[in-house]
Structure 1
Amino acid sequence: MDIRKIDDSISVAPQITPDQVAEIARLGFKTLVANRPDQEEPGQPAMADLEAAAREHGLAWVYLPVESGNILDEDVDAFAPMFEQAEKPVLAFCRSGTRCSVLWALSSARRKPLEPIIQQAGQAGYDLRGLIPRLQQQASTHQD
């Protein structure tokens, strides 16, 4: 399992399996977020099986599927309040972890400076510098 810590509140991972959920709970995660659509590709675990495993191990489960390469503002609008309200730490997963890190970054840009966001994602192995214009847009349209 390739869990990549962004900060103390969130880590991201590539696709997980139901048999890994016990270890995820043992590691202290409280909320499991699926950002990958069910049946996105043949052979991936069913979301219902992952949800059952999450609940069995005491994790909150959030299914927030996002199309790869097509994260809409509406997706960020759904992710931001979910993340704010989720019991931490959160583990979010998709096919590679990239969608999760992008959702986190875009929602974080609404309330945090951009440089630490880019830096934290980079330390987790996700180069989001190409998203700077979109991060700036999120920051400017969601200022208090």
Structure 2
Amino acid sequence: MKVHRLVLALGLAAACTGCASGLNSQQKAELRHYEANGLAVQEKSPGTGAALGLLPGGGSFYGREYGLGVVNLLFWPLSILWDPVSGHDAAESINYTATKEHVNRLQRKDVDAIDERLQSGQIDVAQYALEKRKVNKKYDFN
């Protein structure tokens, strides 16, 4: 009886900590905005992460949560209850981070090009300010 309670307690603890944190609503909206504008980067497929979550620890390993993957491996088949969600959320989180880095690189590149045009005298300060505002608007989520 004590062994069953211990297994149940460990299973409950693993279930409570098994899901990846995922994105908050602001981050989800930001990622959808970048997807709609063709700026999103998809390093990992959320669908694949969810599907691999049906395998022992697969969703967590796919989402680069290796410690959690070992725990889910040990608690398989119980981990099927949370690992697909964990794999999906981890893939989305990876894609969000990659997209933010990609967008920041593109914005820096565009601003650097405008800076170079200003320094070479191709544009004046007023044109510089206008073009820089356009670049910031292009990449800004808010």
TM-score (norm 2): 0.27
Bigger-Rg structure (1/2) = 2
Give the structure with the larger strand fraction.
1
